[in-house]
Amino acid sequence: MNQRSFLKLLAVSGLTSRLLPFTSRAQATPAPTGPFTLPPLPYAPNALEPYIDAETMTLHHDKHHAAYVNNLNKAVAPYPDLQKKTAEELLQNLDSLPAEIRTTVRNNAGGHANHSHLWKTLSNPGRRPEGKLAEEIDKTFGSYENWKEEMTKTAMGIFGSGWAWFARGKDGKLFIKPYPNQDSPLMEGATLIYGIDVWEHAYYLKYRNLRADYVTRCLGLANMKSN
Protein backbone atom coordinates (compact mmCIF):
# COMPACT_ATOMS: atom_id res chain seq x y z
CA MET A 1 0.00 0.00 0.00
CA ASN A 2 1.45 3.41 -0.93
CA GLN A 3 1.45 6.34 1.45
CA ARG A 4 -1.49 8.11 -0.12
CA SER A 5 -3.86 5.17 0.03
CA PHE A 6 -2.71 4.47 3.57
CA LEU A 7 -3.59 8.05 4.58
CA LYS A 8 -6.94 7.73 2.78
CA LEU A 9 -7.65 4.58 4.70
CA LEU A 10 -6.80 6.32 7.95
CA ALA A 11 -9.11 9.20 7.09
CA VAL A 12 -11.97 6.89 6.23
CA SER A 13 -11.53 4.87 9.37
CA GLY A 14 -11.35 8.04 11.47
CA LEU A 15 -7.95 7.04 12.74
CA THR A 16 -6.12 10.24 11.74
CA SER A 17 -7.70 12.28 14.48
CA ARG A 18 -6.48 9.77 17.02
CA LEU A 19 -3.03 9.36 15.52
CA LEU A 20 -2.18 12.98 14.76
CA PRO A 21 -1.96 14.22 18.33
CA PHE A 22 0.88 11.82 18.87
CA THR A 23 2.79 12.88 15.80
CA SER A 24 2.43 16.65 15.61
CA ARG A 25 0.94 18.06 18.77
CA ALA A 26 2.97 15.93 21.15
CA GLN A 27 6.20 17.37 19.74
CA ALA A 28 5.13 21.00 20.02
CA THR A 29 4.15 20.85 23.69
CA PRO A 30 5.97 18.21 25.67
CA ALA A 31 4.12 16.86 28.69
CA PRO A 32 4.90 18.86 31.83
CA THR A 33 7.62 17.27 33.91
CA GLY A 34 7.64 19.72 36.78
CA PRO A 35 5.74 22.51 38.45
CA PHE A 36 6.41 25.04 35.68
CA THR A 37 4.53 24.76 32.41
CA LEU A 38 4.78 26.48 29.06
CA PRO A 39 1.73 28.71 28.58
CA PRO A 40 0.24 28.38 25.09
CA LEU A 41 0.67 31.34 22.76
CA PRO A 42 -2.51 33.41 23.13
CA TYR A 43 -2.81 33.66 19.30
CA ALA A 44 -1.77 31.75 16.21
CA PRO A 45 1.99 31.83 15.42
CA ASN A 46 1.25 33.86 12.27
CA ALA A 47 -0.90 36.44 14.10
CA LEU A 48 1.89 39.03 14.13
CA GLU A 49 2.81 38.63 10.44
CA PRO A 50 4.32 40.35 8.57
CA TYR A 51 6.13 42.04 11.46
CA ILE A 52 7.08 38.90 13.35
CA ASP A 53 7.04 35.83 11.14
CA ALA A 54 5.36 32.56 12.12
CA GLU A 55 8.61 30.59 12.00
CA THR A 56 10.29 32.94 14.47
CA MET A 57 7.25 32.84 16.75
CA THR A 58 7.13 29.05 16.68
CA LEU A 59 10.82 28.64 17.43
CA HIS A 60 10.74 31.38 20.03
CA HIS A 61 7.80 29.91 21.91
CA ASP A 62 8.05 26.15 21.29
CA LYS A 63 11.83 25.90 21.59
CA HIS A 64 13.34 28.86 23.43
CA HIS A 65 10.59 29.52 25.95
CA ALA A 66 10.04 25.77 26.38
CA ALA A 67 13.75 25.33 27.15
CA TYR A 68 13.59 27.92 29.96
CA VAL A 69 10.63 26.05 31.45
CA ASN A 70 12.34 22.67 31.16
CA ASN A 71 15.62 23.92 32.61
CA LEU A 72 13.81 25.59 35.48
CA ASN A 73 11.96 22.37 36.25
CA LYS A 74 15.24 20.46 36.20
CA ALA A 75 16.89 22.99 38.53
CA VAL A 76 14.16 22.81 41.19
CA ALA A 77 13.61 19.05 40.88
CA PRO A 78 15.74 18.22 43.96
CA TYR A 79 14.08 20.98 46.04
CA PRO A 80 10.39 20.27 46.91
CA ASP A 81 10.03 23.62 48.72
CA LEU A 82 11.15 25.57 45.67
CA GLN A 83 8.70 23.69 43.46
CA LYS A 84 5.85 25.42 45.28
CA LYS A 85 7.11 28.89 44.42
CA THR A 86 6.18 30.96 41.40
CA ALA A 87 8.85 32.13 38.97
CA GLU A 88 8.30 35.65 40.35
CA GLU A 89 8.89 34.50 43.93
CA LEU A 90 12.07 32.69 42.92
CA LEU A 91 13.38 35.77 41.13
CA GLN A 92 12.64 38.04 44.06
CA ASN A 93 14.57 35.79 46.43
CA LEU A 94 17.58 34.66 44.43
CA ASP A 95 19.94 35.22 47.37
CA SER A 96 18.09 32.67 49.48
CA LEU A 97 18.43 29.90 46.86
CA PRO A 98 21.06 27.15 47.07
CA ALA A 99 24.21 28.52 45.43
CA GLU A 100 24.45 25.62 42.97
CA ILE A 101 21.16 26.51 41.26
CA ARG A 102 21.09 30.29 41.74
CA THR A 103 22.38 31.24 38.28
CA THR A 104 20.31 28.57 36.54
CA VAL A 105 17.15 29.81 38.28
CA ARG A 106 18.04 33.43 37.55
CA ASN A 107 18.40 32.69 33.82
CA ASN A 108 15.53 30.28 33.40
CA ALA A 109 12.89 31.64 35.78
CA GLY A 110 13.77 35.00 34.21
CA GLY A 111 13.37 33.57 30.71
CA HIS A 112 10.09 31.92 31.63
CA ALA A 113 8.56 34.98 33.32
CA ASN A 114 9.83 37.48 30.74
CA HIS A 115 8.44 35.49 27.79
CA SER A 116 5.15 34.62 29.52
CA HIS A 117 4.56 38.35 29.89
CA LEU A 118 5.77 39.22 26.40
CA TRP A 119 3.27 37.00 24.53
CA LYS A 120 0.36 38.61 26.39
CA THR A 121 1.33 42.15 25.45
CA LEU A 122 1.63 41.83 21.67
CA SER A 123 -1.20 42.25 19.18
CA ASN A 124 -1.49 43.08 15.51
CA PRO A 125 -2.11 45.94 15.30
CA GLY A 126 -0.93 47.11 18.70
CA ARG A 127 -2.95 49.45 20.87
CA ARG A 128 -2.00 52.77 22.37
CA PRO A 129 -2.19 52.73 26.14
CA GLU A 130 -5.38 54.22 27.53
CA GLY A 131 -6.72 55.62 30.77
CA LYS A 132 -4.52 55.84 33.82
CA LEU A 133 -1.48 54.24 32.20
CA ALA A 134 -1.61 56.67 29.27
CA GLU A 135 -1.77 59.58 31.71
CA GLU A 136 1.15 58.24 33.72
CA ILE A 137 3.23 57.73 30.57
CA ASP A 138 2.58 61.35 29.59
CA LYS A 139 3.48 62.51 33.07
CA THR A 140 6.65 60.43 33.35
CA PHE A 141 8.02 60.60 29.80
CA GLY A 142 6.29 63.66 28.36
CA SER A 143 4.32 61.78 25.70
CA TYR A 144 3.80 58.31 24.23
CA GLU A 145 6.14 59.31 21.39
CA ASN A 146 8.86 60.15 23.91
CA TRP A 147 8.21 56.85 25.66
CA LYS A 148 8.76 55.04 22.34
CA GLU A 149 11.97 56.99 21.77
CA GLU A 150 13.25 56.03 25.22
CA MET A 151 12.37 52.35 24.63
CA THR A 152 14.16 52.45 21.28
CA LYS A 153 17.27 54.05 22.74
CA THR A 154 17.35 51.51 25.55
CA ALA A 155 16.83 48.50 23.25
CA MET A 156 19.46 49.73 20.80
CA GLY A 157 21.96 50.37 23.58
CA ILE A 158 22.03 46.77 24.78
CA PHE A 159 25.28 45.05 23.85
CA GLY A 160 24.53 41.41 23.10
CA SER A 161 21.47 39.64 24.46
CA GLY A 162 18.94 41.19 26.79
CA TRP A 163 15.73 43.12 27.18
CA ALA A 164 14.52 46.70 27.31
CA TRP A 165 11.86 46.73 30.02
CA PHE A 166 9.14 49.20 30.83
CA ALA A 167 8.01 48.40 34.34
CA ARG A 168 6.59 49.75 37.56
CA GLY A 169 8.98 49.79 40.49
CA LYS A 170 8.15 48.80 44.04
CA ASP A 171 7.81 52.53 44.73
CA GLY A 172 5.00 52.71 42.16
CA LYS A 173 7.06 54.73 39.67
CA LEU A 174 7.30 53.84 35.98
CA PHE A 175 10.74 53.26 34.51
CA ILE A 176 12.56 52.02 31.40
CA LYS A 177 15.79 50.09 31.88
CA PRO A 178 18.07 47.67 30.02
CA TYR A 179 18.59 44.16 31.41
CA PRO A 180 21.27 41.70 30.25
CA ASN A 181 20.49 38.06 29.39
CA GLN A 182 17.19 36.99 31.00
CA ASP A 183 17.44 39.32 33.97
CA SER A 184 14.09 40.85 34.79
CA PRO A 185 12.64 43.80 36.71
CA LEU A 186 10.89 41.06 38.71
CA MET A 187 14.24 40.51 40.46
CA GLU A 188 13.75 43.97 42.02
CA GLY A 189 10.13 43.34 42.93
CA ALA A 190 8.92 45.48 40.03
CA THR A 191 5.87 44.73 37.87
CA LEU A 192 6.39 44.08 34.15
CA ILE A 193 4.47 46.23 31.72
CA TYR A 194 6.18 45.91 28.33
CA GLY A 195 9.46 44.40 27.22
CA ILE A 196 11.42 44.25 24.00
CA ASP A 197 13.38 41.03 23.63
CA VAL A 198 16.60 41.88 21.80
CA TRP A 199 18.05 38.39 21.82
CA GLU A 200 18.87 37.57 18.21
CA HIS A 201 16.55 34.53 18.39
CA ALA A 202 13.65 37.02 18.58
CA TYR A 203 14.34 38.63 15.20
CA TYR A 204 17.32 37.32 13.26
CA LEU A 205 15.43 35.08 10.79
CA LYS A 206 13.51 38.04 9.42
CA TYR A 207 15.46 41.16 10.34
CA ARG A 208 19.03 39.79 10.29
CA ASN A 209 21.28 42.51 11.71
CA LEU A 210 18.61 45.24 11.48
CA ARG A 211 17.72 45.43 15.15
CA ALA A 212 16.40 48.99 14.80
CA ASP A 213 13.69 47.90 12.34
CA TYR A 214 12.65 45.06 14.62
CA VAL A 215 12.49 47.39 17.64
CA THR A 216 10.28 49.85 15.72
CA ARG A 217 7.93 46.98 14.80
CA CYS A 218 7.79 45.75 18.39
CA LEU A 219 6.66 49.19 19.51
CA GLY A 220 3.92 49.06 16.86
CA LEU A 221 2.71 45.72 18.25
CA ALA A 222 2.68 46.83 21.90
CA ASN A 223 -0.63 46.24 23.63
CA MET A 224 -0.04 46.97 27.28
CA LYS A 225 -2.44 46.13 30.03
CA SER A 226 -3.04 49.00 32.39
CA ASN A 227 -1.12 47.69 35.39
Where on the chain is the footprint of Mn ion (CB under 5 A)? 197, 199, 202
**Which residue, 174 or 222, has its beta carbon nearer to Mn ion?**
222
Quick one: 51 or 199, whose CB is closer to Mn ion?
199
Ramachandran region, residue 208 (left: φ > 0; alpha: ψ -120 to 50; beta: rest): left
The DSSP bridge partners found for residue 175 are 167
Between CA 69 and CA 33 the distance in angstroms is 10
Phi then psi dihedrals of residue 196, to 5 deg: -110, 120
Please state the closest distance from residue 202 (CB atom) to Mn ion, in A.
Answer: 5
For residue 127, the minimal CB distance to Mn ion (Å) is: 22
161 DSSP assignment: S
CB of 201 to Mn ion, least distance (A): 6
Nearer to Mn ion, 165 or 199 (CB): 199
Q: In degrees to the nearest 10, what's the CA dihedral of 126, 136, 175, 119? A: -30
Least Å from the CB of residue 199 to Mn ion = 5
Quote the least distance from Cβ 184 to Mn ion, whole Å.
Answer: 12
In the complex with Mn ion, which residue's Cβ is closer, 111 or 141? Answer: 111
For Mn ion, the nearest residue by Cβ is: 197
Cα separation, 184 vs 201, whole angstroms:
18
Between residues 199 and 207, which has the closer beta carbon with respect to Mn ion?
A: 199
Give, for 174, the enclosing helix (H) or strand (E).
Answer: strand 174-180
- Is the CB of 88 or the CB of 197 nearer to Mn ion? 197
Residue 115 CB, nearest distance to Mn ion (Å)? 6
Q: What is the DSSP string of 48-79?
A: TTTTS-HHHHHIIIIIIIHHHHHHHHHHHTT-
C-alpha–C-alpha distance, residues 44 and 54, integer Å = 8
Q: What distance separates the 2 farthest-apart alpha carbons in the chain?
A: 71
Collapse the DSSP code of 158 into the 3-class scheme (helix H, G, I; strand E, B; otherwise coil) and give the result: coil
